[in-house]
DNA sequence: ATGTGTGCAAACGCTTTGCATCGTT
DNA sequence: AACGATGCAAAGCGTTTGCACACAT
């Protein structure tokens, strides 16, 4: 019983973590809300958000804050990368060490203090791959400017 | 006169691009709005957004969509990385090749079609470095879950 | 009993959009 | 004249927050 005892174990919190760990996907808060609602019909979206924030803060889950998209959440905290589908937004895992000394190289080139780095992939999920195969025509760029 | 002629050269568009290229920072839409307003007092924020979107689409500027932060915009389009200050949000440039075959390695590990990857740094800008030097105590994690 | 967690709804911040009008082509 | 661009204000969207009440400790 350390400082952690000031946080409480509620049904909501427990089930949110449980369900997030059950799904193989990386749900948005809303998607998880719908899932959890089956067990706790009265739960509110605010509670989902508050708990996801809390669980991410204590390191039990990962908040996937991707540029320009809804946040998604990952119940698996081992280090890995993510790839997001440009078509449907789905997120997949990539378990690969793609990096080597990146922080060191970067630090040599900036007067910022480098703390973290994030490697993020975008592409197309298996389902969307075919769709885009057809409509993959190149776009011309405006030469005016 | 190619397909580009269907876009028009307006005062607003010209000055937005000009000012974005002048500043050494990576301003937000609002910051740029304030700057441009000095020359075009009647310009609206909507016009700033529409033009930034447009200019990014035709590749004249880069839209820096960082997770959980306001978007920022970069008038320099040569390939480089960015580092964002965790304290004040400022963005700096890192001109370094930190990556090598990352796409290839990632593609071997996923059934997604890998299109792009983005390497993003976070840290502390020169100004904020000192401030955080003091209050850098470690946070305890909740062991309850 | 204490005070954290909850449900609800309203507010938030950034961004986008509908519309009438303007101005470039 | 045609139609893309603008200014304005309202709406949109995901997320956060204030409040009174519930419930874990």
For residue B98, the SS3 value is coil
Residues of B within 8 A of A112 (CB-CB) are 83, 85, 92, 121, 123-126, 129
Q: What is the pLDDT of residue B134?
A: 45
Read off the pLDDT of residues B9-22 as tens digits, 9 standing for 90 and up.
999 999 999 999 99
Pick B133 or A25 by higher pLDDT. A25
CB neighbours of residue A49 within 10 Å: 15
Q: How far is CA A89 from the centre of its chain?
A: 11
Q: What is the pLDDT of residue A100?
A: 66
Read off the pLDDT of residues A27-79 as tens digits, 9 standing for 90 and up.
999 999 999 999 999 999 999 999 999 999 999 999 998 777 889 999 998 88
Rounded CA-CA distance B107/B110 in Å is 6
**Mean pLDDT score across all residues of chain B:** 84
A15: nearest CA partner in chain B: B145
Rounded CA-CA distance A120/A80 in Å is 10
pLDDT band per the 50, 70, 90 thresholds, residue B138: very low
Residues of A within 8 A of B77 (CB-CB) are none
pLDDT band per the 50, 70, 90 thresholds, residue A85: confident
Report the percentage of chain B scoring pLDDT > 90: 46
Q: Is the pLDDT of residue A138 over 50?
A: no
Q: What is the pLDDT of residue B133?
A: 64
Q: What is the pLDDT of residue A136?
A: 47
Q: What is the pLDDT of residue B67?
A: 72
Q: How far is CA A11 from the centre of its chain?
A: 24
Mean pLDDT of B109-116: 90
pLDDT band per the 50, 70, 90 thresholds, residue B99: confident
The reply to whether A129 touches chain B by the CB within 8 Å rule is yes
The reply to whether A7 touches chain B by the CB within 8 Å rule is yes
Which residues sit opposite A93 in a β-bridge? Answer: A82
Q: What is the pLDDT of residue A134?
A: 45
pLDDT band per the 50, 70, 90 thresholds, residue B127: confident
The reply to whether A133 touches chain B by the CB within 8 Å rule is no
B110: nearest CA partner in chain A: A94
Read off the pLDDT of residues A3-32 as tens digits, 9 standing for 90 and up.
445 789 999 999 999 999 999 889 999 999
Residue partners of B89: CB distance under 8 A and separation at least 6: B69, B70
CB neighbours of residue B41 within 10 Å: 7
Query: Among residues 43-62 of chain A, which lie with CB inside 8 Å of chain B?
Result: 55, 58-60
Q: Is the pLDDT of residue B3 over 50?
A: no
Q: Which residue is nearest to nucleotide C24 (CA to C1')?
A: B8
Give, in degrees to the nearest 5, the angle at Cα B105 between B100 and B109: 160
Q: What is the pLDDT of residue B100?
A: 66
Q: What is the pLDDT of residue A65?
A: 86
Pick B97 or A137 by higher pLDDT. B97
Contact residues for strand C with beta carbon within 7 Å = A 6-8, 10-13, 40, 42-47, 50-51, 54; B 5, 8-11, 28-30, 45-46, 49-50, 53, 70-71
A contact test, residue of B66, B77, B121, B128 with most A CBs within 10 A: B121
Name the residue among A55, A115, A125 with its Cβ closest to that of B124: A115
Nearest to B43 by CA among B60, B57, B29, B53: B29
Rounded CA-CA distance A17/A51 in Å is 9
DSSP symbol at A28: B
Q: What is the pLDDT of residue B1?
A: 39
Q: Is A144 in contact with B86 (Cβ distance < 8 A)? A: no
Q: CA A51, A55, A58, A63 torsion: positive or negative?
A: negative
Read off the pLDDT of residues B13-55 as tens digits, 9 standing for 90 and up.
999 999 999 998 899 999 999 999 999 999 999 999 999 999 9
Whether residue A29 contacts residue A65, with contact meaning beta carbons closer than 8 Å, is answered with no
Q: CA B78, B65, A92, B95 torsion: positive or negative?
A: positive
Strands (E), chain B: 62-64, 72-74, 81-85, 91-94, 113-124
Which residues sit opposite A91 in a β-bridge? Answer: A84
DSSP symbol at B126: H
For residue B59, the SS3 value is coil
């Amino acid at each position: 019983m350390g400082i952690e005892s000031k946080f409480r174990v509620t049904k909501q919190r427990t089930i949110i973590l449980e369900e997030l760990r059950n799904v193989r996907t990386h749900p948005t808060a809303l998607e998880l809300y719908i899932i959890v609602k089956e067990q706790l019909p009265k739960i509110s979206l605010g509670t989902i958000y508050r708990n996801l924030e809390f669980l991410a803060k204590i390191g039990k889950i990962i908040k996937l804050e991707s540029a320009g998209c809804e946040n998604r959440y990952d119940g698996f905290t081992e280090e890995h990368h993510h790839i997001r589908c440009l078509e449907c937004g789905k997120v997949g895992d990539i378990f690969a060490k793609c990096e080597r000394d990146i922080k060191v190289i970067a630090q040599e080139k900036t007067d910022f203090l480098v703390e973290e780095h994030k490697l993020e992939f975008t592409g197309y999920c298996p389902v969307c791959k075919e769709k885009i195969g057809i409509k993959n025509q190149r776009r011309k760029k405006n030469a005016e400017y």
